Amino acid sequence: MERVTGYFVDTYSIIEFLKGNKKFIKYFKGNPIATILNLMELYYIVLRDFGKKQADKEFSRFLNCSVDFNNEDVKEAMQFRLKFRKKGKDFSYADAVGYTVAKKNKVKFVTGDDAFRKLRNVKFVK
C-alpha cells in the first residue's frame, strides 16, 4: 500500500474549502485524501447548487485525492456505524467509510460534522 500523508478530508471539509473558509485551507496542502463516496456527495451538492459544468469541474479537481477502500473497510465502517447509531449518532455510509479509511491510512479525519466532535482520530474544524 502506498504511504499516504496529509489528512482525510470529508465532503463537509471539501465544501468549506470551496467556499473559501480559511480554517480548512491548510488541510488541503500536501496530499489530502477522500474516497469516491465523498466525491459522489460533492458532485451531487455542486450539481444541485451550481449546475453540471461546475460539478464536473470540481469532481475532476478532487479526483486525484480519491483512495480505494476494500471489503474489510466496508465491514469495519458498518460496525462503526451501528455501534454509534446505538448511541444516537447517525453517520452516513460515506462518513463511516471515510473515517475507517482515515484510520487505516494513519491520517486524521477532518470534518466540521458535529457527530464527530469528540471522536479519536478526528480534527474537528468549524
Domains of the chain: 7-116 (3.40.50.1010)
Q: How far is CA 42 from CA 72, 86, 100, in A?
A: 24, 28, 19
Banded pLDDT at 18 (limits 50, 70, 90): very high
Mean pLDDT of the chain: 95
Helix axes 52-62, 36-50, angle to 10 degrees: 160
Query: Confidence class of residue 2 from pLDDT cuts 50, 70 and 90?
Result: very low
| pLDDT score for 30 | 85
Mean pLDDT (whole number) for 43-66? 98
Whether 55 has a pLDDT exceeding 50, the answer reads yes
Instruction: Give percent above pLDDT 90 in the chain.
Output: 93
Strand runs labelled E in the chain:
7-9, 108-111, 122-124
* Residues 6+ positions from 25 with CB-CB distance below 8 Å: 17
Is residue 33 predicted with pLDDT exceeding 70? Answer: yes
- What pLDDT is attached to residue 100? 98
pLDDT of the residue at 65: 95
CB 5 within 8 Å of CB 108 = no
Residues 6+ away with beta carbon under 8 Å from 18: 46, 58
